[in-house]
């Protein structure tokens, strides 16, 4: 049995960041994959959307006070400075997202250099953690003993890169509450009434979407499976069931387009022709010049500004970028990330019940929670 003062379970963003700030201690990392940082490697089109220009607790689903406390300890500015000092060049893309300049390997190289003296045990899948004085970590390739355990094994999204529910299982075994988990930052599947969306596969358009109290104005992408795109991925963080409202003409007054002699499908409205043709068909409205529309027809057309539907579900963990839900934060100290029930047991990163919106927020959370952890 291998013994260390600290064992980190998971070599993802949060685990690697923690190890970087504690590399001078007797520490080891256990990773179930054959390589570290698999999620970092594939994210953001393999350029890793590291963080966002504007980050606050309002960009997260979870306990706002808890999230703010963690983010304040290591902000997006702190993260960018951390990377700059280590020669990792980042660029601002998509208006407000920071990416690695060339590829996600840049940030992986930073961590590999920082923790080059930290032992990493790859292909060691954790099966159980118990405590009898010290902690005992059982894996598929041998057991470990440690005074302190840091659980940084992430959520259940992307099972193809080794994502598992082990963090939840460990937390439950130590009497932590765990909220129901589900895929997030993921596309929606459709009810029969919206199957016509599938016939628009490949069409992308700017829309405004309201889900609960949240509102997003971003691109929607119609696919053969349902709907996706940034506006859908963000909405999936907050939607569990019930109606969603779409405005297909965001920031535009429909009436201003109804004062000419142009035809609906061709030039009257600034919308894709494929979409307009299908939409008119579904509301039983013929293509005609807008100045000939009667009040009843205008009322039907007003659905463009307030189209209400309820998704059937989502594309699942295989396509989800993150996991919503997880270990309840009311059992975790926001200043140290240590369990309030079990001394020397820590939970960081995506395994917690904190989910960020699209745009680098989840990596920022992983990095911040990794740095926030205090080990003495």
Last residue of one domain, picked from the residues 265, 299, 314: 314
Mean pLDDT of 274-278: 94
Q: What is the pLDDT of residue 26?
A: 97
Mean pLDDT of 294-311: 95
Three-state DSSP class for residue 108: helix
User: Same domain for 174 and 199?
Assistant: no
User: Same domain for 279 and 220?
Assistant: yes
Does residue 129 contact residue 170 with C-beta atoms inside 8 Å?
A: yes
Q: Domain total for the chain? A: 2
For residue 180, give both structure tokens. Answer: 């129901």
Measured between alpha carbons, how far is 183 from 152 in angstroms, rounded to an integer? 18
User: Same domain for 161 and 270?
Assistant: no
Q: What is the pLDDT of residue 321?
A: 96
Structural domain that includes position 281: 188-314
- Strand 244-247 versus strand 182-184 pairing type: unpaired
Q: Taking the CB of residue 308, how many other CB atoms lie within 10 A of it?
A: 10
Q: What is the pLDDT of residue 376?
A: 54
CATH at residue 248: 2.40.30.10
User: Same domain for 299 and 329?
Assistant: no
User: Same domain for 230 and 295?
Assistant: yes
User: Same domain for 144 and 25?
Assistant: yes
User: Same domain for 171 and 22?
Assistant: yes
pLDDT digits (tens, 9 = 90+) for 92-116: 998 899 999 999 999 999 999 999 9
pLDDT digits (tens, 9 = 90+) for 75-91: 999 999 999 999 999 99
Closest CA to 39 of 57, 15, 62, 19: 15
CATH at residue 56: 3.50.50.60
Closest CA to 369 of 8, 13, 80, 49: 13
User: Same domain for 302 and 221?
Assistant: yes
User: Same domain for 34 and 117?
Assistant: yes
Query: Can you tell me which residue has the tokens 């307030």?
Result: 306
Last residue of one domain, picked from the residues 291, 314, 337: 314
What lies within 8 Å, CB to CB, of 286 at 6+ separation is 280
Supply the pTM of this predicted model: 0.96
Closest CA to 116 of 124, 105, 108, 126: 108
Measured between alpha carbons, how far is 367 from 80 in angstroms, rounded to an integer? 11
Measured between alpha carbons, how far is 237 from 359 in angstroms, rounded to an integer? 13
Measured between alpha carbons, how far is 33 from 108 in angstroms, rounded to an integer? 15
Question: Residue 164 pairs with which residues in a beta bridge?
Answer: none
User: Same domain for 141 and 193?
Assistant: no
Measured between alpha carbons, how far is 282 from 343 in angstroms, rounded to an integer? 60
Closest CA to 120 of 15, 24, 5, 43: 15
User: Same domain for 271 and 345?
Assistant: no
User: Same domain for 193 and 252?
Assistant: yes
Last residue of one domain, picked from the residues 281, 296, 314: 314
């Amino acid at each position: 049995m291998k013994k260390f003062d600290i064992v980190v379970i998971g070599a993802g963003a949060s685990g690697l960041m923690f190890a970087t700030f504690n590399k001078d201690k007797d520490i080891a990392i256990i990773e179930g994959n054959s390589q570290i940082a698999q999620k970092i490697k594939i994210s953001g089109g393999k350029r890793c959307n590291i963080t966002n220009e504007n980050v606050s607790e309002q960009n997260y689903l979870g306990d706002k006070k808890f999230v703010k406390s963690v983010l304040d300890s290591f902000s997006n500015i702190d993260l960018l400075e951390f990377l700059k000092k280590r020669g990792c060049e980042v660029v601002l893309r998509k208006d407000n997202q920071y990416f690695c300049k060339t590829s996600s390997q840049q940030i992986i190289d930073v961590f590999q250099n920082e923790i080059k003296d930290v032992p990493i045990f790859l292909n060691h899948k954790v099966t159980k953690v118990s405590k009898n004085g010290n902690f005992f970590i059982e894996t598929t390739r041998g057991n470990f003993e440690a005074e302190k355990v840091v659980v940084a094994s992430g959520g259940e999204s992307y099972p193809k890169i080794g994502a598992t529910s082990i963090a939840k299982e460990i937390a439950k075994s130590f009497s932590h509450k765990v909220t129901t988990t589900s895929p997030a930052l993921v596309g929606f599947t459709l009810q029969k009434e919206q199957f016509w969306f599938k016939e628009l596969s490949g069409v992308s358009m700017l829309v405004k979407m309201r889900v609960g109290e949240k509102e997003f104005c971003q691109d929607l992408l119609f696919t053969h499976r349902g709907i996706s795109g940034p506006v859908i991925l963000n909405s999936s963080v907050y939607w569990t069931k019930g109606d969603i409202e779409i405005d297909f003409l965001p920031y535009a007054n429909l009436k201003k387009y109804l004062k000419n002699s142009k035809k609906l499908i061709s030039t009257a409205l600034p919308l894709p022709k494929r979409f307009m043709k299908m939409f008119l068909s579904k509301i039983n409205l013929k293509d005609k010049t807008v100045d000939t529309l009667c009040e009843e027809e205008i009322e039907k057309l007003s659905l463009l500004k307030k189209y209400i539907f309820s998704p059937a579900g989502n594309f699942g963990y295989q396509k989800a970028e993150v996991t919503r839900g997880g270990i309840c934060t009311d059992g975790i100290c926001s200043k140290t990330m240590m369990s309030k029930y079990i001394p020397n047991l820590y939970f960081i990163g995506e395994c917690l019940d904190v989910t960020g919106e699209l745009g680098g927020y989840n990596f920022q959370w992983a990095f911040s929670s990794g740095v926030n952890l205090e080990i003495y």
